[in-house]
A and B are shown apart, each in its own frame.
Chain A
Amino acid sequence: MAEGSVPAVWRRYPQRYRLVGSKCETCGEFFFPPRIICPNCRRKGKVVEYQFSGRGVVESYTVVHTPPADMEDQAPYVLAIVRLEEGPMLTAQIVDVDPREVKIGMPVRMVFRRISEDGEDGLINYGYKFAPL
């Protein structure tokens, strides 16, 4: 992401703040982040907005000890791939848990948190993290 770009952050609010994705009513597949066109059905697909439940399970996880510069205050943190109960997977931090307790298959739910800070005067980015259910 271009550092400090307001529009680049603003246009992702619905997805990052509320887990708004999309769904193809023709084949039933869910998309997060949302797709405008269904890759299965293409022109025959009917894609509509969909509010994900925010529940999922941990598919894999790691504890990050060497973070990017804008997340140095958070390390070490747990980063995971979460499979949402509707199907799609995403990458997010797991919080409110002892890192040693995180396991593959652990049920989690979305929480709204501060993600990163672009230095003293920069943007503060918010979005989803996940916590034990």
Chain B
Amino acid sequence: MHADAFDRYHHGHSLLHHLDARIKVVVTVAFILSNVLLPDGAWAAFGLAFIFLLIANALSQLGFGFTLKRSFVALPFALAAVTAVFSIPGHALAEWHLGMITLIPTDAGLLRFVSILVRSWLSVQMAILLVSVTEFPDIIHALTHLYVPSIITTIIAFLYRYLFVLTDEVMRLMRARQARSAAAPGSRSGGNVWWQARVAGNMAGQLFLRSYERSDRIYNAMLSRGYKGQWMAMHVQRIQLRDWLVGVAAVCGLIVMQIVGRL
């Protein structure tokens, strides 16, 4: 039994794969920040950001449309911003009556909404690219060396390590449930919805108990190997000249984008 559903890393030997993880994390965060800071309707700058993204895709050798294909998963979340269409003051574009309430979309609201969609769509793609070209442990190291507090990086590391163990455990529980919800010939298997809800509740409880006990054992294993309350990490990465060059070039690109967005 093996759960690999969470690994997004795509093995490769491109420039981006070999780039220092710290540079990749910083550039990704800077790219997202830059998108957020661009004014509404800065189409030229958004276009530049898209070109920036395409160049990054090309450098990863995963294919031009690599992140494009995977980017739509996040769109439903961006739709939460749809309220902006009606709540930003501006010229009314129409008037919709829905029973008691009247919705008035405005031009400024629409502009804000579309800008938010574009921003999140671009940002999500860069994040997808980051986890596709960087092994997850390297991202955690990068965060450690970027002075993210160790409590946070430790939690992320444990989450990554035990997500797989936990999903295996869930699968085992589900299999046990399936094995026991057989039906007599002629009747439907699985019981009614209440029965299923009760079983699901029990499973959640089981999972919590098992995880709780496991955390105890892991802590003991850590103590046994000299853990004294302070997690230590090694400096495994060395930033090279090439890493700096790529980082500086990327930041320059972002600055140009900001200037274009404000012209």
Q: Do A and B come from one complex?
A: no
Using a CB–CB cutoff of 8 Å, the interface residues on chain B facing chain A are: none
